[in-house]
A and B are shown apart, each in its own frame.
Chain A
Amino acid sequence: MIAALARLPVARMVRSRRAWIAAGAWSALGVTMAVVMRRRGAPHGADDVLVEACGALVLPLLAYTLVGAALGARSMAGSTSALASFGASRARAAAVTVGVATAASALAGALLAATVALVAHGTADPPIARDALVSGYVGALGGAAYACWFSLGAWFGRRGGGRLVALLVDWVLGAGGGIGALLAPRAHLRSLLGGAPPMDLSQRASAVALAILALACALGAVSRARA
């Protein structure tokens, strides 16, 4: 049943030319910045690109695009109505849609972060293989957290305009280092990529916070379908 329910969001992602173009454009932006940083010969090239460009801009927008594609550019309720009309549980359909979007964002985030770490690697960065591996892990965690964050946002608005509000809230809250930043994926992702931590949390605490945030948003999205 899960495989059947996943067919629709997967088909939406795979068959949407617009989604491919947008995801390709954001990824290309991240890789281009990495190439520019490498040409400059920056000693902390990978760190700089990952924190300033990848974590702050490219990864959120990539996840935003992928979630939108999985939902067919609709609200969460609208995107599951076709499956519900055949008798599927809305909560289960929403859970599978969130799962597909999360998996795709995690994979894309991991690939992007690892590629950027490899391309922009500087002399003062950690060993290249380890850096790529750790960046991939952080990119996957960040991508997954953003997917769940936007999935919860997609419940609001007739066409899921809450996703955009979620993006703006993340930018505003995550830009600082105060208590509000604890609720934003951006702040924890920045910390994990080597930037300033929110409220002086350790990287391990930020990783746990990001995972909890993802889980809470995913559960929120599914429980709203149940209601």
Chain B
Amino acid sequence: MIVLDGVAARRRPLALSSVSLSWGPGVHAVLGGREDGGGLLLALVAGAARPRSGSVTVLGGAAGDPDVRTRVSIVPLDPALPEALRVDETMVLAATIRGEPARDPAERLRVLGIEALAARPVRSLSLPEARAVALAEGATSSRVRVLLVEEPFVSMDPRALALLGERLRARGADGSAVIVLTASSRDAGELTDDQVLLRRGAIVARATSVGPLPGASPGAARLRVAAHDGHAARALVAALASEEDVEGVALEGTSVVARGRDAVTLARSVGKAIVEASVDVAEMRCEPLRDHEARDAPGPEASK
């Protein structure tokens, strides 16, 4: 869906070097800030910037191709909206430009709980309201297949905040690629399936969250164990693999994420595995379970 192959790009004072990435449908995170080149990375995917070398392929075409451009939506920290129009007129205009059938703007805005903004002039919107409108436009477009969102939880309308995660995950589940650029690992962990860590224009780490598991129930639990080093983390993964009550386990750098039916049983099993593996751990943290983990099919690399 999105392939960056050996991409180098520059937009002063930022630069990206030898970035190779591949994203399919789902919700993905780029962990990093604008100063790390995250904004430039999104601009490359959106076709708003050109690579100096390498290639950026989006939806089977070059980023920036006319047909590709209408299927990509970007929500930066300071979105550009047509300030002379009302919000409902903006939604109609966007639909016309994207080449999709017109739908009731209020209905589209309702997915983020901001239908009350429909009759407001765009120039009267606050920044959080404008960002929510831009996000609602991209998230409800029938043409958009790639949604790029910068810091979804920053400067966002409070009404939209409550529905944002669910909406983005729904877009990821319907076959779209949602790329979230954030400096917050917590936001990335709550929203996305996998993360790449961007530092000073280069990808320095990749992590896959624990995958969905068969038979997972809504009452299931997630536990993250931070080991002191990779060796200890791998030993812990091996020990957890023999625990019957642990339904899934994933290695994320020096952290191990385990899933189980309930928090108490899981904590007991993880504690037992820590003792058996004789590893020192720095931290254990219970994490909220993602909605899609209880709903979707399992990923092969994460299931036991």
Contacts and interface: CB of A to CB of B under 8 A. Distances in A.
A7 interface: yes
A169 interface: no
Interface string A1-38: 10011011001100110000000000000000000000
A87 interface: yes
Task: Bin the interface of chain B by size.
Answer: 20 to 34
Interface stretch (B21-29, B68-76, B241-249): B68-76
A87 B84 contact: no
B122 to A, nearest CB: 9
Contacts of A88: 69, 97
Given A87-B69, A87-B72, A89-B66, A11 B84 contact: yes
* Chain B at the A interface: SS class: mixed
Nearest to A16: B84
Contacts of A81: 80
Given A5-B97, A7-B85, A82 B72 contact: no
Interface in B27-57: 48
Interface string A74-98: 0000100111111111000000000
* Chain A at the B interface: SS class: helix
Contacts of A198: none
B175 interface: no
Nearest to A85: B80
B93 interface: yes
A85 B85 CA distance: 15
A8 B85 CA distance: 7
B11 to A, nearest CB: 14
A83 B172 CA distance: 25
A193 B72 CA distance: 51
B85 A1 contact: no
A89 B65 CA distance: 9
A15 B97 CA distance: 22
B168 to A, nearest CB: 18
A94 to B, nearest CB: 14
B93 A4 contact: yes
Interface string B70-112: 1111100001111111000100011011100000000000000
Which 5 A-B residue pairings sit nearest by Cβ, starting from the closest?
A: A87-B70, A11-B84, A81-B80, A4-B96, A12-B84
